[in-house]
Amino acid sequence: MQRLTGTIQNYAWGDRRFIAELQSRPVTGDPEAELWLGTHPSAPSILDDGRSLADAIASDPLAALGVETAERFGELPFLAKVLAAAQPLSIQGHPSAQQARTGFDRENRQGIALDSPTRTYRDPNHKPELICALTPFQAKCGFRPLAATRELFALLDGSGLDEVGERLAGPGTEAEILATTLAWLVQSPASQGADLAAAAVAAAESAPRGGQFDAALDWTAQIAALHPGDVGVVVALLLNHVSLEPNQAVFLGAGNLHAYLEGAGIELMANSDNVVRGGLTPKHIDIDELLSVVDCTPIDPLVQQANGAAHTFNSPVSEFSLSRLEIDGESGFSVSGPEIVIATQGHIKIVQGQTAATLGPGESAWVPASGGDCSASGSGILFRATVGHL
């Protein structure tokens, strides 16, 4: 076991204080959106001995990963992050495993550099993810059931959004109607999209409050203020609005159209940086690819609540699993594969064999599969990123 130093990603939507204050270091003044902990080639983490985690694993994969993970994946299959959003991220979706491989190979053949701003697929992996809130957290997550979305747009009737309502009333299954509506919105000419976005803001501001759509209506103007004229303002009204309290989590599978809006959390995902964007961003947007990967089947996002001193969140994928531990005194946990552990409160001493590390808030450690079980002592909160066992 060794302490692990991650890489800060300074994306424009990042919070300027949260990660720095979590780690008790001076605020830099720059947006600090994500702290990456893992082996992704875009931002590999560094061990105390100076090696990158990727190099350490490559030097002895069986010891680092264990036989099962080494045989199944050949690498660390997950990427952990501390995420801190001060403003909305792009509306985006993530590909399935087959879509990721196909897209990655296609862009390689096209000669698009891996670090090109016009690149969509930066690796051949899918990107399911789970976010556990550390602060109150707001997000758009998957398509709302069609009956409810029709009810919402009925509140906005006569506001310049009538054609959206007409498309939502069209024939077909729920998924087909939502897919047709989404495609019409994101493929509309820029001037039409701007008119729709402005109409949505005006309608949302005048719509009655006191019902299930208050959060969706309230966020419309906030999103539009950051991205004026972006039709993504209207697309966001098709999506579930999810509010998480600290220690609540939600899982997002392949094809889930979503946008994190505000808040901080521990995010765990497959080892991928494949983001297919459709709006609300100055970054590369690929509408055709977005429409090919998004699943428009309505969902009711399952909000998971951490309960008890040890809780494992449900993530129905084989690459990762996230657990939250409350440490008060001495306890232990068994190690059956590679882990990254992250402290978010207090100070916790972790011992694995002859190695030990004391972690404060925002600090992390690499726990190799071969090191044996761990003991933990002190007082605080510890998150464990492990391999899934489907």
List the beta strands (DSSP E) in 74-192: 78-85, 91-93, 129-133, 137-143
CA-based R_g, the chain, Å: 22
Residue that the structure tokens 């008060």 belong to: 328
Dihedral sign for Cα 95, 98, 100, 105, please: negative
Q: Are 359 and 384 in contact (CB under 8 A)?
A: no
Active-site hit among 119, 122, 277, 324: 277
Distance, CA of 33 to CA of 82 (rounded, Å):
8
Q: 170: helix, coil or strand?
A: coil
Closest to 13 (Cα-Cα) out of 292, 277, 373, 331: 277
Q: Kindly write down the DSSP assignment for every residue of 212-232, as one continuous string.
A: TTHHHHHHHHHHHHHSTT-TH
**Per-residue tokens: 3:** 């302490």
Question: Is 72 tagged catalytic?
Answer: no
Closest to 157 (Cα-Cα) out of 207, 201, 193, 197: 207
**Distances from the Cα of 296 to the Cαs of 55, 100, 291, 352, in angstroms?**
40, 18, 9, 46
Dihedral sign for Cα 165, 275, 194, 243, please: positive
Pairing of strands 310-312, 258-270: unpaired
Q: Which residues have a Cβ under 8 Å from the Cβ of 120 and sit 6 or more positions away? A: 103, 107, 274, 275, 276, 284, 286, 289
Cα dihedral 197, 184, 94, 19 in deg (nearest 10): 0
**Per-residue tokens: 181:** 């509506």
Would you name the residues annotated as active-site residues? 277
